[in-house]
C-alpha cells in the first residue's frame, strides 16, 4: 500500500476508533507515523487529534497525547482546536481529558468562537458545566458580539438558560454589536419557553430596539411566532403602540388573523392596551368576531379603551 493510501486508511481508522490497528501501523512505520502526527488533512486542515476528539474516541486521544507526545493545542485552518471539537459534539470525557492535559478553555477559533460558545449551540448541559467549572468565561464575545448566553437563548433549552443565569446572574444584560439582546434572539427563533424564562428572570425593557429599530415583539410577529408576541404583550402591560405603527409602515397586514380567527384587535383588547387599539382602528382595522363568536370588545375592562369601540359595529 502506498504511503498516501496508508495515511488515508489510518485516518479512517482514527475516525472509527480502531486503536489497535492504529497503534500497530504507527509502531512499525516511522515515516507514516511522522506524517500522521504532523499532517493536516482534508479541506479544514484537521489533525488526527481533531478527528479523535470530534468522534469521541478517548482512548485514541490518550494514545496520541501520552504515548506519542501530540500537543493538545494543535489548530486546523479555522484555528479550531480539539477542545472545540469535543465541546461542539458533546464528548464530555474527551473534553475533560483535554482540559486535564492543559488545553486552554477559552481558546479562540475563527470568528472568535470559544469552546463554551460551541457547547451552547447544543443541549449538553454537562459539557457546559464542565467548561464553566474549569474557568471558561461566559462574557467573552465572538466577532458579532454574541456571547454564550446569546447562543443558548437561540437554541432555547430552559435548563441551560436557567443554569447560566444561576452562575452569572447579570449575564442577561448584554447586546450584540447591532444591539440585539438575548430576548431578541429567543423571540426571532420562536423559543417560547426561553422567552418566558427571560421575561421572568431578567429586566429587559419593553420595546428595546436593536440598531435597525427592531424590537423582540417585532421579531416574533415578523417570523410568525404569535404566542411569543402575545406573551410580550401580556408581560409588558403598557403595550407596543409604537411597534405596531412600525410594523404597519413595513407593510404588515392589519387584517391578519390567527388560526382561531383572532385579530390584532383581540390581542390589544385582551391586554387592555388603549393606545394599541387606537393605532389599529386608525389603520382601518374594524371589529369582527373570532371563530368562537367572541368580539374584541368583550375582552375589555379598561373604560378608556371601551370608549374607543363605541359605535363600531360587528363586521363579521
* 273 contacts 233 by C-beta, under 8 angstroms: yes
Grid cell digits, residue 20: 489497535
Percent of the chain at pLDDT > 90 equals 61
At 83, which helix (H) or strand (E)? helix 82-89
Q: 3-class SS at 41?
A: strand
Query: Using CA of residue 232, residue 236, residue 237, residue 242, what is the dihedral sign?
Result: negative
Classify 265 as helix, strand or coil: helix
d(C-alpha 231, C-alpha 229), whole Å:
5
Of 81-90, 209-218, 241-250, 255-264, which gets the smallest average pLDDT? 241-250
* Interval 210-226 mean pLDDT: 88
Average pLDDT over residues 112-141: 97
pLDDT tens, 104-122? 999 999 999 999 999 999 9
CA distance 223 to 187: 9
Q: What is the CA radius of gyration of the chain?
A: 27
Burial of 307 (0-12, 13-18, 19+ CB in 10 A): exposed
Say whether pLDDT at 266 is over 80.
Answer: yes
Question: What angle is formed at CA 98 by the lines to CA 140 and CA 61, rounded to 5 degrees?
Answer: 140
Sign of CA dihedral 91, 94, 100, 103: negative
Give pLDDT tens digits for 153-163: 999 999 999 99
310 contact partners, CB below 8 Å, separation of at least 6? none
Q: What is the pLDDT of residue 315?
A: 45
The whole-angstrom separation of Cα 89 and Cα 56 is 8
Considering only residues 242 and 285, tell me which one the structure prediction assigns the higher pLDDT. 285
pTM of the complete model: 0.77
Across all residues in the chain, what is the average pLDDT? 90
**Which of these, 172, 306, 179, 187, lies nearest to 240 by C-alpha position?**
187
What pLDDT shows up at residue 190? 96
* Beta-carbon-side half-sphere exposure of residue 21 (alpha carbons within 13 Å): 12
Amino acid at each position: 500500500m502506498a504511503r498516501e493510501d496508508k495515511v488515508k486508511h489510518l485516518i479512517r481508522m482514527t475516525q472509527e476508533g480502531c486503536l489497535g490497528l492504529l497503534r500497530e501501523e504507527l509502531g512499525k512505520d516511522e515515516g507514516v507515523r511522522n506524517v500522521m502526527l504532523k499532517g493536516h488533512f482534508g479541506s479544514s486542515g484537521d489533525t488526527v487529534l481533531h478527528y479523535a476528539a470530534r468522534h469521541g474516541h478517548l482512548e485514541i486521544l490518550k494514545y496520541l497525547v501520552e504515548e506519542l507526545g501530540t500537543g493538545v493545542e494543535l489548530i486546523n485552518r479555522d484555528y479550531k482546536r480539539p477542545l472545540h471539537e469535543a465541546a461542539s459534539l458533546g464528548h464530555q470525557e474527551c473534553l475533560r481529558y483535554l482540559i486535564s492535559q492543559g488545553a486552554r478553555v477559552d481558546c479562540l477559533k475563527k470568528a472568535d468562537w470559544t469552546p463554551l460558545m460551541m457547547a451552547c449551540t447544543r443541549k449538553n448541559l454537562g459539557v457546559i458545566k464542565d467548561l464553566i467549572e474549569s474557568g471558561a468565561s461566559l462574557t467573552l464575545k465572538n466577532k458579532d458580539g454574541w456571547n454564550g448566553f446569546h447562543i443558548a437563548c437561540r437554541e432555547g433549552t430552559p435548563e441551560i438558560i436557567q443554569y447560566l443565569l444561576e452562575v452569572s446572574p447579570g449575564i442577561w444584560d448584554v447586546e450584540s454589536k447591532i444591539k440585539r439582546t438575548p430576548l431578541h434572539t429567543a423571540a426571532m427563533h420562536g423559543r417560547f419557553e426561553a422567552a418566558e424564562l427571560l421575561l421572568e428572570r431578567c429586566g429587559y425593557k419593553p420595546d428595546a430596539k436593536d440598531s435597525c429599530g427592531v424590537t423582540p415583539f417585532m421579531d416574533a410577529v415578523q417570523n410568525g411566532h404569535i404566542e411569543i408576541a402575545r406573551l410580550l404583550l401580556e408581560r409588558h402591560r403598557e403595550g407596543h403602540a409604537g411597534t405596531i405603527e412600525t410594523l404597519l409602515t413595513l407593510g404588515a397586514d392589519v387584517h391578519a388573523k390567527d388560526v382561531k380567527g383572532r385579530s390584532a384587535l383581540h390581542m390589544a383588547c385582551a391586554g387592555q392596551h388603549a393606545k394599541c387599539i387606537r393605532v389599529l382602528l386608525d389603520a382601518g382595522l374594524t371589529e369582527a368576531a373570532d371563530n368562537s363568536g367572541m368580539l374584541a370588545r368583550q375582552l375589555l375592562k379598561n373604560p378608556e379603551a371601551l370608549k374607543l369601540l363605541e359605535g363600531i359595529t360587528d363586521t363579521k
